[in-house]
Amino acid sequence: LCTIGWGTWTPICPAGEEFGWRSYFSKGRATIVKAVLDGKLPMNENLANLMYRCILCGGCAKQCQTNFGDKALDIYEKVREELVKAGIGPMPEHKKIGEHVKNEHNPYFEAHSNRLSWNQEALKLPSKAEVVYFVGCTPSYRQTNLARATVSILNKIGVDYTIMSDEWCCGSPLIRTGQTSLAKSLAEHNLKVIEKTGANTVITSCAGCYRTLKNDYPKFATYDFSVLHIVEFLDDLISDKKIEFIREYKKKVTYHDPCHLGRHCGVYEPPRHVLKAIPGLKLIEMKANRDNAFCCGAGAGVKSAVKDLAMNTVLRRLEMVEQTGAEVLASACPFCNRNFLDGVKVYKGKKPEVIDVVEIVDQTI
**Which residues would be at the binding site for ligand SF4 (CB under 6 A)?**
12-16, 26, 29, 54-60, 73
Q: Between 105 and 263, whose beta carbon lies closer to ligand SF4? A: 263
Q: Rounded to the nearest whole angstrom, what is the least distance from the CB of residue 141 to ligand SF4 in the complex?
A: 26
Q: Between 30 and 125, whose beta carbon lies closer to ligand SF4? A: 30
Q: Between 208 and 270, whose beta carbon lies closer to ligand SF4? A: 208
| Bridge partners (DSSP) listed for residue 261 | none
Strand 226-229 and strand 161-162: the pairing is: unpaired
Q: Between 208 and 352, whose beta carbon lies closer to ligand SF4? A: 208
Q: Rounded to the nearest whole angstrom, what is the least distance from the CB of residue 29 to ligand SF4 in the complex?
A: 5
Q: Between 55 and 328, whose beta carbon lies closer to ligand SF4? A: 55
Q: How far apart are CA 174 and CA 167, in angstroms?
A: 16
Sheet of strand 161-162, all strands in order from the earlier edge strand to the far edge: 161-162, 131-134, 201-204, 226-229
Q: How many CB atoms lie within 10 A of CB 287?
A: 15
Q: How many CB atoms lie within 10 A of CB 43?
A: 18
Q: Between 57 and 228, whose beta carbon lies closer to ligand SF4? A: 57
Residue 199 to residues 7, 175, 192, 352, 360: CA-CA distances in angstroms? 49, 25, 12, 38, 27
What is the three-class DSSP state of 25? coil
Q: Rounded to the nearest whole angstrom, what is the least distance from the CB of residue 268 to ligand SF4 in the complex?
A: 17
Q: How many CB atoms lie within 10 A of CB 130?
A: 14
Q: Rounded to the nearest whole angstrom, what is the least distance from the CB of residue 127 to ligand SF4 in the complex?
A: 41
Q: Rounded to the nearest whole angstrom, what is the least distance from the CB of residue 26 to ligand SF4 in the complex?
A: 4
Q: Rounded to the nearest whole angstrom, what is the least distance from the CB of residue 15 to ligand SF4 in the complex?
A: 4
Q: Rounded to the nearest whole angstrom, what is the least distance from the CB of residue 341 to ligand SF4 in the complex?
A: 21
Decide: residue 34, CB within 10 A, 0-12 exposed, 13-18 middle, 19+ buried. middle
| Length of the chain (residues) | 365
Q: How far apart are CA 278 and CA 297, in angstroms?
A: 28
CA angle 360, 362, 365 (to 5 degrees): 105
Q: How far apart are CA 128 and CA 126, in angstroms?
A: 5
User: Do residues 186 and 170 lie in contact, with contact meaning Cβ atoms separated by under 8 Å?
Assistant: yes
Q: Between 73 and 230, whose beta carbon lies closer to ligand SF4? A: 73
The angle, 0 to 180 degrees and rounded to 10, between the axes of the packed helices 144-157 and 230-239 is 30
Q: Rounded to the nearest whole angstrom, what is the least distance from the CB of residue 176 to ligand SF4 in the complex?
A: 11
Q: Between 13 and 328, whose beta carbon lies closer to ligand SF4? A: 13
Q: Check residue 351 and report its DSSP letter.
A: P
